Amino acid sequence: MICAWINCLRIMALTSVSSSGPVPEYPLGIGSPMPVQREPLRWTDYALTILLHAGLLTALYSACYCFGLLDYLPEQARLLNWDGNNFYSIAVNDYPTDSKLGTNAFFPLFPYWWRLTGLDAVGISILNAIWAWVGAGVLALTFGLTRRQLLLLLALPSLLFTMVPYGEGLFFFFGALLLRGLHRQQVALVLLGLAGCCLARSAGTTFLPAYLFAELLTWDRRKSFGRQLGELLAGILAVVAAVVLVMWLQYRRHGDALAFYNVHSLWGHKFHLPETLLNDSAGINVLWLDLAALVVVVVALVACLALGVRWLLGLGKAHTDAPRLSKAVLFSLGYAVGAGYFIVFYQNPDIVGLSRYIFASPFFFVILAWAWQYQQTQPRLWLGVLTACVLVATLVGWPWYFDNFMPLEATWYFVLFTLYCLAFLFIGKADFRWYRELSVGLYGINLLALVYMLNLFLEGVWIN
């Protein structure tokens, strides 16, 4: 099985030299190239990096369990906590006949795939992790990440959701195909990625505006209008078709095609403006991750607004050959804004789950790769991230009203939080003297957090 997925990376590497459209001069279409490798990395380099991460993760979890630092192993019953039990129910019994049950909030691709494999919860969790890791390899091949950068991204704590019986593993894989297709202008991959993602998770309402944003801002008046319009409509049709298929699968079970939306309404997910400070129902264990995701959303929002205004001001002007952002970057920025909009305005004041939307997806990989490249020409990008961290801290009550912390304690908490966020930027600067040591330290912190979060999940603690 692992060999088959590694072969997928090899195929992607071989096809990377024959894209159906021009590839931007730089990996993401703006700024300076990524730090140059002494030798170009091949698919085998990325495959070995992924295997190294898998080995380190397994060894660390095993050692912590052996020394009594962790209490649980990933066993069948414990892996079926929370959403895992809902996915298992769909895999075994299909959707329920009662349209008001929460099971209707989950999309069918993963549970139907689970049923097809016949695996237990442990087996499907391993397969999920492989899907996500192969997706990460595809992203590394597509955007020219270094091995150190790939290792760091693989250790993101929220990626635990790709290692349990959830839909994130397939969502990550199809999202990686989508981003590769957008970046290399391969329409077939774009359509496959859009459809696969929207069958794996409820992403349609987020994907449509992100897709329109990416297509409109890269519209080229020198190219065929009909072809570009056809590609745009084909992408929209892929999203709509996937959503309609899900609605039909649920309708044939209980007669309510809108059961998914009705369940979210029963859960209180309705639009309303924030009236109090933001909080996190998962508690202090997950708060820092959700706040870090909110920082990403703020940065993405500012970037989208700036790019959108520049595009509007450029309408009607003569076309220039100025470097453009890759469609993959534009889509990822739009996705982050859409995910943040849903959490802040439909779930507020509770921001739990935002880190799952942002960090357990391939779109953060592309946003961070863009930031690493962008700061080569805009070295003060870190000031923008610092400002976003201060804004996010204020939204949750710093310094006086933050989660029962004293002002000095809250300040120290957010100093550490800000340093954590900024560290992701500085490991992308090859001219930063300590970027290698910083990369290793950040990887170790994230790997420990990933192991800890996985243990919390197995314990049945609510981490969304």
Mean pLDDT for the stretch of residues 360-379 = 88
Mean pLDDT of 103-122: 94
pLDDT band at residue 11, thresholds of 50, 70 and 90?
very low
Is residue 67 pLDDT above 80, yes or no?
A: yes
Residue 329: the pLDDT is 96
Q: Above 70 in pLDDT, residue 82? A: yes
Query: CA-to-CA distance for 30 and 324, rounded, in angstroms?
Result: 6
Report the mean per-residue pLDDT for the chain: 87
Q: Is residue 14 predicted with pLDDT exceeding 60?
A: no
pLDDT at position 226 = 86
- Looking at the DSSP bridge assignments, the partners of residue 435 are none
- Which is more confident, 300 or 100? 300
pLDDT given for residue 162 in this prediction? 96
Rounded to whole angstroms, how far apart are CA atoms 104 and 125? Answer: 22
Average pLDDT for 322-342: 90
Task: Specify the higher pLDDT residue, 21 or 238.
Answer: 238
With a cut of 50, say whether residue 291 has pLDDT above it.
yes
User: CB–CB of 119/127 below 8 Å?
Assistant: yes
Residue by residue, DSSP assigns 78-130 as HHTSTHHHHHHHHHHH-S-S-TTSGGGGS-SHHHHHHHHHT--HHHHHHHHHH
314, part of any domain: yes
Omega cis (within 30) before 349: yes
Q: Over range 72-89, report the average pLDDT.
A: 92
Q: Is residue 464 part of a domain?
A: no
In a domain, 310, yes or no: yes
What is the pLDDT at residue 64?
95
The model's confidence at residue 8, banded by pLDDT at 50, 70 and 90, is low
**At 26, is the secondary structure helix, strand, or coil?**
coil
Say if residue 7's pLDDT is above 80: no
- Asked if residue 157 lies in contact with residue 449, where contact means CB atoms within 8 angstroms, the answer is yes
Residue 318 has pLDDT above 90, yes or no: no
Mean pLDDT calculated for residue range 339-365: 93
Q: Is residue 379 part of a domain?
A: yes
Q: What distance separates the 2 farthest-apart alpha carbons in the chain?
A: 67
Considering only 104-108, 113-117, 122-126, 167-171, which range has the smallest mean pLDDT?
104-108
What DSSP letter does each residue of 352-386 carry, written as one string? TTHHHHHHTSHHHHHHHHHHHHHTTT-TTHHHHHH
Does residue 187 belong to any structural domain of this protein?
yes
Tell me, yes or no, whether 36 lies in a domain. no
The domain tally of the chain equals: 1
> What band does 265 get if pLDDT is binned at 50, 70 and 90?
confident
pLDDT average, residue stretch 81-99: 91
pLDDT in tens, 141-176: 999 998 999 999 999 999 999 999 999 999 999 999
CA atoms lying within 13 Å on the CB side of residue 249: 21
The confidence score (pLDDT) of residue 431 equals 66
Is 50 exceeded by the pLDDT of residue 35? no
pLDDT in tens, 415-451: 999 999 999 988 876 667 788 888 899 999 999 999 9
Return the pLDDT at 128. 97
pLDDT at 34: 43
Q: Report the percent of the chain where pLDDT is more than 90.
A: 64
Nearest to 166 by CA among 123, 224, 124, 226: 124
Q: Are 85 and 111 in contact (CB under 8 A)?
A: no
**Does a structural domain hold residue 166?**
yes
Does residue 283 surpass a pLDDT of 50?
Answer: yes
Name the residue range of residue 448's domain.
2-29+42-459
Q: Binning pLDDT at 50, 70 and 90, where does residue 28 land?
A: low
Task: Give residue 181's pLDDT.
Answer: 97
pLDDT recorded at residue 429:
66
Distance separating alpha carbons of residues 411 and 393, to the nearest angstrom: 9
Inside any domain, residue 210: yes
Report residue 137's pLDDT band, with 50, 70 and 90 as the boundaries. very high
pLDDT of the residue at 39: 62
pLDDT value, residue 16: 42
